[in-house]
Amino acid sequence: MKSIVKQFLLYRYHRPRRLFSTNIVTDVTTTNNLTKTLANKVALVTGSTSGIGLGIAETLAENGCSICLNGFGENIDEIVTSMEKKYNVPVMYNGANMLNRHEIKDMIENDIKSTFGTSVDILVNNCGMQHVSPIESFDEDIFEKVIQLNLTSNFYTTKYVLNDMREKEYGRIINIASTHGKVASVNKSAYVASKHGVVGLTKTIALETAKDTNITCNAICPGFVLTPLVAAQIDVIADNKNITFEEAGKDLLSEKVPSENFVTVEQLGGLCSFLCSDNAEQLTGQDIAVDGGWTSV
């Protein structure tokens, strides 16, 4: 088994560097030689200006999708430009507030259609937030915000893309849930409730679209994903305990993850690409755990 240090170093300095750095060296030749399995498809990935969402957007672009990024942060223009050059596909950004259904509707029904000349084929609901607190001291406003962002926004995005998917006779709805859509942890009441809700919503959408032509809805339930944010958390653990990065990573993983390995954004992107393929046409309504065995225990 690779050591966590080696895994992280490969992640930070090899391929995944392209997913998070805006100072990206373009390699159009390699990309142009790839088979564009999702050419002419339009993908909306929410919460996609960093981390898991950006990694998924990159993989879909690599497979030929036109991409609408959504989220917040710095250097967004550079991210858009670098993705367009690297993958030779159209990329746009819309900063719709996913807490506001009117902005969500305008993004899907107006901005995306006017930019790409067609509607959304692939919807990846990835935006979300976390807050940790015991129930008795959990801030009520934050609880409602977590539910609204993690769950309710998925309802609205799906509502606004579904009619067009039915007209096209193709659609893929992929909800990024969590291991916490299957199991619970203390002090995460809002997050666990929202992610369980995402799994339930996924199954309902799958049933409602089961007789439609080539429309599916699935949830991906990642465990610990190796992103820069998680790496920073490991660094804090290492500093606080005066241990190495590898030891801190093992501390984080060993309690719940039998494989003692992180999930990578590339693995999640690859799974999303498969779910969008014709081979996954009859795969719908599933909550797919990508967690190194966490939920098998």
Catalytic residues: 191
Amino acid making up residue 71: G
Please choose, from the candidates 154, 135, 229, the residue with its C-alpha nearest in 3D space to the C-alpha of residue 195. 154
Its sign, for the CA torsion 190, 147, 181, 18, is negative
Tokens of 92: 């746009």
**3-class state of residue 259 by DSSP:** coil
Burial class (CB in 10 A: 0-12, 13-18, 19+), 28: exposed
Report the distance separating Cα 221 and Cα 292, nearest Å.
Answer: 11
Please choose, from the candidates 253, 249, 130, 238, the residue with its C-alpha nearest in 3D space to the C-alpha of residue 193. 130
Give every CB contact of residue 193 below 8 A, 6+ residues apart in sequence: 147
For residue 225, list its beta bridge partners. Answer: 263
Give every CB contact of residue 238 below 8 A, 6+ residues apart in sequence: 244, 245, 247, 248
Its sign, for the CA torsion 257, 183, 178, 120, is positive
Please choose, from the candidates 202, 200, 203, the residue with its C-alpha nearest in 3D space to the C-alpha of residue 123. 202
Task: Estimate to the nearest angstrom the gap between the alpha carbon of 195 and the chain centroid.
Answer: 13
Report the distance separating Cα 166 and Cα 69, nearest Å.
Answer: 23
Report the distance separating Cα 213 and Cα 230, nearest Å.
Answer: 39
Contact between residue 124 and residue 67 where contact means Cβ atoms under 8 Å apart: no
